[in-house]
Chain A
Amino acid sequence: MKIKTADWVFVGVALASGAACWALLGPSGVRAGLGDAGDLLLMIMPQLGAGLLIGGLVQQFVDRERVAGMLGQNSGFRGLGLASVAGMLTPGGPFASFPLVYALWVAGADAGALIAFITAWSLIGINRLVIWELPFMGADFALLRFFVSLPLPILAGLIARWLVLATPLKIREAPRS
Chain B
Amino acid sequence: MTPVALILWALVAALAAMVGARKGAAGLRGAGAFAVGQASVLLIRLPMALLAASFLTQILPTDKVAAVLGPETGLSGILLASVVGGLLPGGPMLSFPLALVVWQSGAGEAQTVALLAGWSVFAMHRMLAFEAPIMGWRFVALRLLSSSALPLMAGLLAAAVLGLLDILFL
Contact = CB atoms under 8 A, between A and B. Distances in A.
A21 B139 CA distance: 32
A56 B33 contact: yes
Interface in A27-49: 29-30, 32-34, 36-37, 40-41, 43-44, 46-49
Contact of A101 (B16, B117, B133, B134): B134
Given A54-B8, A57-B19, A172-B136, A144 B161 contact: yes
B35 interface: yes
Interface in A10-25: 10-11, 13-14, 16-18, 20-21, 24-25
Nearest to B138: A171
A17 B55 contact: yes
B38 A46 contact: no
Contacts, number: 281
Nearest to A22: B55
B31 A25 contact: no
A87 B76 CA distance: 30
A40 B138 contact: no
A55 B35 contact: yes
Contacts of B96: 132-133, 136-137
B67 interface: no
Contacts of B100: 136-137
Interface in B92-131: 92-94, 96-97, 99-100, 103, 109, 112-113, 116-117, 120-121, 123, 126, 128-131
Contacts of B4: 47, 91-92, 127, 131
A128 B44 contact: no
B84 interface: no
User: DSSP majority for the A interface?
Assistant: helix
Nearest to B133: A6
A163 B146 contact: yes
A2 B93 CA distance: 31
A164 B146 CA distance: 10
Tier of interface size on chain A = 35 or more
Interface in B24-73: 27, 30-35, 38-40, 42-59
Interface of A: 1, 3, 6-7, 10-11, 13-14, 16-18, 20-21, 24-25, 29-30, 32-34, 36-37, 40-41, 43-44, 46-61, 91-96, 98-99, 101-103, 105, 111, 114-115, 118-119, 122-123, 127-128, 131-133, 136-137, 141, 144-145, 147-149, 152, 155-157, 159-160, 163-164, 169-172, 177
24 contacts: A6-B132, A10-B45, A11-B44, A18-B55, A30-B55, A36-B58, A40-B54, A48-B42, A55-B34, A55-B38, A56-B30, A57-B16, A60-B23, A60-B27, A94-B91, A99-B38, A99-B134, A122-B123, A137-B103, A144-B162, A147-B161, A169-B142, A172-B138, A177-B34
Given A17-B52, A46-B2, A133-B116, 7 more contacts: A20-B56, A30-B55, A57-B15, A119-B150, A156-B150, A169-B138, A177-B34
